[in-house]
Structure formats: structure tokens, C-alpha cells
């Protein structure tokens, strides 16, 4: 009774209580709406579309996903319309109706202008070629006072002039100065890198590359290196030495890496035994310099 009398005497309190109650009700309704609208708790695992045809991906869409093609790249290893990459990646948690950005293989290669690489440093040339969408084939080292300078750029043995139109993805061979004396090159760490990262590291280190892909690799661009020969060490190899690299699918990387580690440990034990045997031989020159080895001396 006293409380009712107080509210009647002070109607502003009544209005404030009504406003407070209405505000709380609005907040509750909005939170429920947001929860329902955002499908709270209804998440799904993103499928792996790489390697599949774009049309079949769209037709098999069970989650109402909205596919957006952000880029089309020519790759002679894939049929036109093949999905090369996706965002979000496979395995990510997504909700129905989400946008998925795809890069697919185009039917015809685009034309790009051949850059002028002559007199560039090898590292600059590697970066330039890759940014233009061109591939690096082989580094041919010749005697020159300009160490690691580009002396010529060739496609299938033919010198290519700057500004000439070439297909994106074309393989370009580079003639590179070795310097008066071959100072050797150190093999970088390649394990765990994707293909572009591996190629950048190998070529920028004045080395060549031989690549092998495990059966089942659907997208070479996203494959990861799990094994390399020779391994990274302080040993210097002649410039232009070929580094062998093995790739697997990203989801197989951990298991493949562990297997490769066991193989490397076994090779290291053989190497250590060889070193101890050589040290036991009392000769001033045994014909093998461990500071500068050919790749086949250890592998």
C-alpha cells in the first residue's frame, strides 16, 4: 500500500520502471534474434574443392554456399574449370550461405610481357619472374666477374627480348654469372614450405631444383615439401647444384615428415661413420673436402 501510494505520488518513477522493463525486453528479443539469425552453434566443416571441376562443385552445393571466382589462371596440368585454390580452406568451420572464394584454371594462357632481367641480381630476377606469372626452368652458371648477375634470358634455348609477349606460366632459363671463382652455395631449409616458397628459396640460393609429387597430390600450388636432398647444413655445394624436393598434400605433411626424419637420421648415422673412418686414416690429403662437396658425395 505504501509502495503503491509512493508510485502514485511520483508518476515519474512509474514511467522509469516501465522504460527499464521495456529496455530489458528489447535486449532479450534482440539477443534471441541475433542468435537465430547467425545460426549460433550450426557450423559445418568446409569441404576440399581443390582439384574438382567448378560446375560439379556448384551443383553439389548442400550448404547454400555462394561461390565467387576471384581469379582464373592457366595451368597446363589441369583441365579448364578445375578449382586450384579456395578460401576458406578445407577443414575450416563455416556456416550455411557463406561466400567461398575460388581460383580456377582457365582454358587459355594469358599473355604477359617478358621483363628485362639482364644485369639484375639473381634474387631480383627470381622475384620478378614469379610476380609476372612466369616459371624458372634452369640456372646455367658461366664464368663472369659479375657473380649472380643475369647474363641472358632464354625460352627453349632462344634468347627472349624484353617486352616480347609470352604465355603466362612459360618456363624461362637463366644464364647467370658464377664469378671468377665458384664460392659455392648453401642449401636452405625447404621443409614445410609450399611450392612457390621452395622455388624462391632454391633459385635465390644459386641452386637448381628437381621436384617430385606424391601420388594423390591434387593441387601442386598448395602441396608442402616434406623431404629434401641434400638437407640444410654448413656444407657448400657448387653453384647450380640440383636440390631434390618431395611434396605431399598439406593434410599428409606431418606423417610424411616423420617418415622422412627417420630416413634422414639413418643417413646421418652413415655419414658419421664415414667421417670417423676418414679421420682414422692418417693422411694429409684424402681427396675429400667436407667444406665443399658435390651432392653425390653424401646422397
pLDDT tens by residue, the chain, 299 residues: 455 565 566 667 667 777 887 888 888 887 777 666 555 557 888 888 988 899 999 988 888 899 999 988 877 777 888 998 889 988 888 888 889 999 998 888 788 999 999 999 999 999 999 999 899 999 999 999 899 999 999 999 999 999 999 998 899 999 999 988 888 999 999 999 999 999 999 999 999 999 999 988 877 888 999 999 998 888 999 999 999 999 999 888 988 888 877 776 766 666 677 777 777 765 555 555 545 445 445 44
* Per-residue pLDDT, 293: 47
CATH number, domain at 219? 3.30.10.20
User: What cell does 271 get?
Assistant: 655419414
Tell me: do 54 and 143 sit in the same domain: no
Eight-state DSSP code of residue 223: -
Tell me: do 155 and 190 sit in the same domain: yes
Look-up of cell digits 532479450: 28
* Per-residue pLDDT, 277: 74
* Per-residue pLDDT, 214: 92
Tell me: do 82 and 218 sit in the same domain: no
Tell me: do 252 and 115 sit in the same domain: yes
Tell me: do 133 and 231 sit in the same domain: yes
* Per-residue pLDDT, 39: 55
16 inside domain: no
30 inside domain: no
* Per-residue pLDDT, 168: 85
The CA distance from 166 to 212, in Å, is 27
Tell me: do 70 and 156 sit in the same domain: no
The number of folded domains in the chain is 2
The CA distance from 36 to 33, in Å, is 5
| Residue 65 lies in domain | 44-106
126 inside domain: yes
Which H helix or E strand runs over 272?
helix 253-280
169 inside domain: yes
* Per-residue pLDDT, 268: 67
User: What cell does 74 get?
Assistant: 592457366
Tell me: do 153 and 254 sit in the same domain: yes
End-of-domain residue from the set 106, 135, 156: 106
* Per-residue pLDDT, 5: 61
Asked whether the beta carbons of 225 and 257 are under 8 A apart, the reply is no
* Per-residue pLDDT, 271: 66
* Per-residue pLDDT, 188: 94
20 inside domain: no
Tell me: do 216 and 245 sit in the same domain: yes
31 inside domain: no
Amino acid at each position: 500500500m505504501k509502495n503503491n501510494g509512493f508510485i502514485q505520488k511520483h508518476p515519474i518513477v512509474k514511467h522509469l520502471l516501465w522504460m527499464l522493463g521495456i529496455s530489458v525486453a528489447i535486449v532479450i528479443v534482440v539477443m534471441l534474434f541475433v542468435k537465430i539469425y547467425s545460426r549460433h552453434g550450426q557450423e559445418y566443416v568446409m569441404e576440399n574443392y581443390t582439384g574438382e571441376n567448378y560446375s560439379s562443385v556448384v551443383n553439389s552445393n548442400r550448404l547454400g554456399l555462394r561461390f565467387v571466382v576471384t581469379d582464373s589462371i592457366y595451368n597446363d596440368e589441369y583441365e579448364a574449370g578445375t578449382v586450384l585454390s579456395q578460401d576458406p580452406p578445407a577443414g575450416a568451420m563455416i556456416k550455411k550461405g557463406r561466400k567461398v572464394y575460388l581460383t580456377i584454371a582457365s582454358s587459355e594462357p594469358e599473355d604477359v610481357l617478358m621483363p628485362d632481367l639482364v644485369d639484375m641480381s639473381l634474387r631480383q630476377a627470381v622475384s620478378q619472374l614469379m610476380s609476372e606469372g612466369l616459371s624458372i626452368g634452369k640456372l646455367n652458371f658461366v664464368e663472369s666477374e659479375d657473380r649472380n648477375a643475369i647474363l641472358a634470358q632464354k625460352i627453349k634455348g632462344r634468347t627472349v627480348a624484353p617486352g616480347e609477349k609470352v604465355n603466362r606460366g612459360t618456363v624461362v632459363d637463366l644464364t647467370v654469372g658464377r664469378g671468377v671463382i665458384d664460392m659455392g652455395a648453401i642449401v636452405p631449409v625447404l621443409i614445410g614450405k609450399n611450392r612457390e616458397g621452395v622455388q624462391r628459396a632454391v633459385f635465390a640460393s644459386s641452386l637448381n631444383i628437381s621436384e617430385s609429387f606424391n601420388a594423390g597430390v591434387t593441387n601442386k600450388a598448395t602441396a608442402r615439401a616434406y623431404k629434401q636432398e641434400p638437407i640444410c647444413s654448413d656444407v657448400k655445394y657448387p653453384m647450380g647444384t640440383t636440390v631434390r624436393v618431395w611434396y605431399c598434400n598439406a593434410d599428409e605433411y606431418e606423417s610424411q615428415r616423420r617418415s622422412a626424419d627417420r630416413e634422414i637420421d639413418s643417413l646421418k648415422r652413415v655419414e658419421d661413420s664415414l667421417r670417423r673412418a676418414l679421420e682414422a686414416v692418417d693422411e694429409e690429403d684424402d681427396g675429400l673436402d667436407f667444406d665443399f662437396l658435390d651432392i653425390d658425395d653424401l646422397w
